[in-house]
Structure 1
Amino acid sequence: MTHSNYGPDQPEYSAPPLPPEAFQHPDVYLPHAYPPPPRKGGHGKKIIAGLTLAAVAAGGAVAAYAYTMLASSGIQPERVLPANTVAFVKLDLDPAAGQKVAAYRLSKKFPAISKGASDLDGARDAILSEFFDKQSELDYATEIKPWLGDRIAVAAVPNPASEAGLDPVLAVAYTDEAKMKAAFSKVARTERAFGYVTIDGYALVTDSQPHAEAVLAGVRRATLAGAEHYRADLKALDGDQLAVGWADLEATVAALKAGTRSGSSSRWQGLDRLDTLAAAKGRIVIGAHASSDYLEISAVSRQRVVSGEPRLAGKPVNGTLARLGAVDTSAALEVTGLGEAFKQAWAGASTALGLGGELEDFLEETGLRLPEDLVALFGSDATLSLRLPQGASGDPEIAAQVTTDDAGRAMRVVDSLGRPFGFPADSLHTRATADGYLVSNSAGYDPRSTAGARTLGADPAFQKAVPDRADAGLIGYLNLGAILDSDKHASAKDKADWKHVGALGLSVVPTSDGSRINFRLTTR
């Protein structure tokens, strides 16, 4: 039985562990329309923010995490959050054994991290002590640190009775229930904008006790861990993760529109515009994964994809970036479908974002015809490359290679855009290519590799940073190690700190129901 008369003098409710069958039949639960209690003071939400800060600060120690206990223990926070949660971020300081080992080995390649690992806990404690001393009556060293566990999550749970339409919920693992309750009871005596319940080693904290009880009731009906859509999204990430973020974008917008504050015309208009954008639909899951020689952040998006409809990065790149000269390329980006994507999105975006009248002067000055000129200008495949100066002086050289069916029209558009954007008449250099055109800010910069020169596609650093380049509709590459090495003013300590820094790679691979995005930092 759930108690509804919580308070400083009432016993807190601790729910029993959920039976296995509770996770097999997810079902959406909307919290009851509890009227929010009168609020006084403003520290309740700051305390919730402080506990979130504790997780972020603790995350600084993940890369140097001691692997004394390789077996991950305890349940994940999604097992104590309701199935109708629409957004969720968690940090796991007790990850699976493989991630602990990988994070440890990765940290050893960076002296600044490995040498300072023993001081990370002290630095974290100093930050959190400063926060809690100023924002609450709680003392971090004696009232927070002794019970703070290794897992924490922040979630958004729909509540149509609230102004925002969503309740913020913090799920924080504790190691000592008595000490945790003593700290939270102290807060509850003075703060009305604060409520919590406990379940399976977690405290669920939100902005009022009725809201906390409603969240607990939702958990007892069904959990996020048992929701099929969440489980499918999480499974799409490769391997174990150090941190996970997940959101049902369409459900989030729907919850915001259902809130009591959505009645204001300006807010409703903003939400209505957001609802028309494709980016506000579908779901997305993001994870951080460590290997002994790279750190990778992956995202998988689930959207309604219409077969045959053009979309940005919807087809694999044609390989222009891979054919660039490896020595001369400091950074590069290649993407397919820009022209058609602009054409398809133009009408909807101009309406959703309130564009229209303010563009007339610009269009008149440049002579642009939209969206037709955009199709020619950005074509079916566009590659941007950058070469940094070799010496201490000089400007970066930038070039774009575009595959397009109407190169003549595109080059005329480039010439017309120079003046409005402040480029002198001779600052942009265009030339036709076999499949389109090339434009650069330097007459002497042609990023295409010469005969016999090593290309990016044959470069091991590029191959390691962008492993799925053959299937990607968007590729990005930054030779970070070489850029750092070129710093003539770096000290010996700086050079030692970054000598193992490799490259940054980005790829977007189209899928039948969305896309997969990988962002990778490698070592050397």
Structure 2
Amino acid sequence: MSTNPFDPASQQHGEPQPGEPGELLQPGQPGAFPVPPGEPAEPPRGGRGRTVALVGGILAIVAVGAGGAFAFQQVSGGGAQPESVMPANTMAFAKVDLDPSAGQKLDAIRFIRKFPDARGEVKEDSDLRQVVFKGLQDDGQLKGVDYAKDVEPWLGQRIGVGLVPGATDDAEPTAVVALAVTDQDKAKASLPKIAKSAEAQCQLVEEFALCTDGSDKLAAVATAVGKGTLADSKNFTTDMADLGEDGVASAWFDAEPLAKATKSLDVGSMIPGMTAGPATSQTGRVALALRFDGPHLELAGHTNGASVKFAGSKTGTGLGQLPDTTLAAVSIANAGDQLEAGWPALEKAVKDSVGEQEFADGVDQVEQELGISVPDDLYAALGSQFSLVFGGMGEGQSELRIAAVSDGDKAVLQKLVDAAGQGMGAGDMTLKPAGGATVVSLSDGYADELASNHGLGDTARFKDAVQDADSARVAGFVDIAGLVTEFKDELGADEAKNFAGLSALGFTVSGEGNSADFSLRLTTK
């Protein structure tokens, strides 16, 4: 007997019995709806692509195009979640909850009302499911399907998508869509038509309709669900608990099996301030949630057990110590240590791309032109606290106020400034002390301002957007309202109107060793 967990013949227990919601029915059996009458058991080539496109369309429209409409649904929450019908070995999972907690809904209302165009489009009786459906049809999908007749009578408020391993190590992963079902009889009547239009296969499992791009895959997935679900997985439940509230949308992935399946995942590239090895060596798990915090929108994330890790011991980026006139900035703690830790992987990647001799020649040229040693002097120049700062264009838009602030080796920084002034195309640059740090700027006046002025961390716009900057490893801030004022003459009327309700954008990355937390916050006035 086969031991392949995706082979229905190998399952010896936990199979649903015929007639139950989770039954594994073959096409043509009573009650089955994976394939409409007269259709082949497998979809045409390209069906997987259409299934993935359907998934992407749903998530994109909900998360971006229709953002906030859900907030006007009835204030409730609770109920079955899509992870309860995803197999325990799901590698990646995302869901959209159109029926989140009452607090999330109320906060969403406050957020959406900041945008004039949205106030006109979203009404109290808006049905986000219909918004999603219309968006998919506008994109050329679900042709011949009528929302009021074929979808609305049975579709619930939650949509999930998962990626599970294929039947063999060499097989492509299977994309699975889970649609919440409120009326199983009506779902059974409509799903064959919808499945045909989407070139997918669907089967009721508990309170959801599971859809894939083939009946064999569908049967394997449903059987795997009967043996254990993602909702019961210790890793998944631990990670989501560490993350906190799911919010309106959330996602989770396990890097190691996903990297092996895709051959392209690099967790380190997703988390600033962390170093990483090859994609196929990745380990660890990442949980994400899109949620509201008062009138602000936050994308929060948490990693556990990653193969990537932080370098250096300093915490706190110094971002809040910049002048309160700062319009945009990013600050990195242990910048030199991070570059040193990541240099071997960076060097290998460049050599693989251009060749070892070309890489060596390039390093020699940089060393000769700048008078520095690569990479050691680069580590020294970055130091333990490094920031890039933009303060606008100055009075009359005549001065580019941009600078770097570093507590690194001043002698190396002086070499870089001298080289820039001798023909590197950077124009006149200035270097000035700023307490225990050094300012390198294109503007002498802006260098003085950075050296003597502070207070960004005391402003309300910064506090709302950048939380826990003093303990972060990486932090960034964009004063959206300030940029709108700075460049008001370059904005169109519609852009200015919709930006008018926004205040700032901020992000932080914090953690120790192999665990990290990160937050991206969009705040409103």
Residues 293, 222 of structure 1: CA spacing in aligned structure 2 closer, same or farther, 3 A cutoff? same
Residues 163, 10 of structure 1: CA spacing in aligned structure 2 closer, same or farther, 3 A cutoff? farther
Partner of 1:297: 299
3-state SS of 1:369 partner: coil
1:491 CA displacement: 6.6
- State the identity %: 28
Partner of 2:27: 7
Distance in 1 separating the partners of 2:448 and 2:153: 58
Aligned 8 A contact 1:125 1:141 in 2: no
Describe the superposition over 1:207-241 as per-residue Cα deviations: whole angstroms up to 9, x where unpaired.
21111111111111111111111111101123341
3-state SS of 2:488 partner: coil
1:124 CA displacement: 4.5
3-state SS of 2:191 partner: helix
Partner of 2:157: 150
Distance in 1 separating the partners of 2:160 and 2:348: 37
3-state SS of 1:470 partner: helix
Aligned 8 A contact 1:96 1:240 in 2: no
Distance in 1 separating the partners of 2:182 and 2:448: 57
1:331 CA displacement: 0.8
Residues 170, 64 of structure 1: CA spacing in aligned structure 2 closer, same or farther, 3 A cutoff? closer
How is 1:7-406 mapped onto 2 (pairs within 5 angstroms)? 7-8=27-28, 10-12=30-32, 40=44, 42-43=46-47, 45-47=49-51, 49-50=53-54, 52-59=56-63, 60-67=65-72, 69-118=74-123, 124-132=132-140, 136=143, 138-140=145-147, 142-161=149-168, 163-186=170-193, 194-256=200-262, 273-276=278-281, 280-304=282-306, 311=311, 315-317=314-316, 319=318, 321-327=319-325, 329-351=326-348, 354=352, 356-367=356-367, 369-390=373-394, 393-394=397-398, 396-404=400-408, 406=409
Residues 156, 447 of structure 1: CA spacing in aligned structure 2 closer, same or farther, 3 A cutoff? farther
Instruction: Give the letter for the 1:439 counterpart.
Output: V
Residues 282, 427 of structure 1: CA spacing in aligned structure 2 closer, same or farther, 3 A cutoff? farther
Residues 83, 290 of structure 1: CA spacing in aligned structure 2 closer, same or farther, 3 A cutoff? same
Partner of 1:268: none
Aligned 8 A contact 1:334 1:476 in 2: yes
Instruction: Give the letter for the 2:311 counterpart.
Output: R
Partner of 1:514: 515
Distance in 2 separating the partners of 1:471 and 1:393: 35
Describe the superposition over 1:233-282 as per-residue Cα deviations: whole angstroms up to 9, x where unpaired.
1011233411111111112123446xxxxxxxxxxxxxx94224xxx321
3-state SS of 2:404 partner: strand
Residues 393, 70 of structure 1: CA spacing in aligned structure 2 closer, same or farther, 3 A cutoff? same
1:385 CA displacement: 0.5
Please say which of residues 379-388 and 163-172 is displaced more in the overlay: 163-172
Partner of 2:503: 502
Please say which of residues 461-470 and 486-495 is displaced more in the overlay: 486-495
Residues 300, 189 of structure 1: CA spacing in aligned structure 2 closer, same or farther, 3 A cutoff? closer
Aligned 8 A contact 1:52 1:170 in 2: no
Aligned 8 A contact 1:388 1:396 in 2: yes
1:175 CA displacement: 3.0
Describe the superposition over 1:280-301 as per-residue Cα deviations: whole angstroms up to 9, x where unpaired.
3211111112022211111111
Please say which of residues 56-65 and 229-238 is displaced more in the overlay: 56-65
1:55 CA displacement: 4.3
Partner of 1:261: none
Instruction: Give the letter for the 2:345 counterpart.
Output: G
Aligned 8 A contact 1:323 1:448 in 2: no
Instruction: Give the letter for the 2:509 counterpart.
Output: V
Question: Between Structure 1 and Structure 2, how many residues are aligned?
Answer: 476
Distance in 2 separating the partners of 1:305 and 1:435: 34
Distance in 2 separating the partners of 1:363 and 1:416: 16
3-state SS of 2:330 partner: strand
Describe the superposition over 1:19-40 as per-residue Cα deviations: whole angstroms up to 9, x where unpaired.
xxxxxxxxxxxxxxxxx98652
Distance in 1 separating the partners of 2:82 and 2:42: 30
Instruction: Give the letter for the 1:335 counterpart.
Output: I
Aligned 8 A contact 1:48 1:205 in 2: no
Aligned 8 A contact 2:432 2:440 in 1: yes
Distance in 2 separating the partners of 1:123 and 1:152: 14
Partner of 1:484: 484
Distance in 2 separating the partners of 1:52 and 1:178: 27
Taking structure 1 as the reference length, the TM-score comes to 0.80
Partner of 1:435: 436
Aligned 8 A contact 2:392 2:486 in 1: no
Taking structure 2 as the reference length, the TM-score comes to 0.80
Instruction: Give the letter for the 1:324 counterpart.
Output: L
1:461 CA displacement: 1.6
What 5-or-longer segments of structure 1 have no aligned partner? Answer: 15-35, 258-271
Partner of 1:267: none
Of 408, 411, 414 in structure 1, the residue corresponding to residue 414 of structure 2 is 411
What 5-or-longer segments of structure 2 have no aligned partner? Answer: 1-14, 17-22, 35-39, 264-276
Aligned 8 A contact 2:62 2:96 in 1: no
Distance in 1 separating the partners of 2:479 and 2:376: 35
1:323 CA displacement: 2.1
Distance in 2 separating the partners of 1:304 and 1:131: 38
Instruction: Give the letter for the 1:53 counterpart.
Output: G
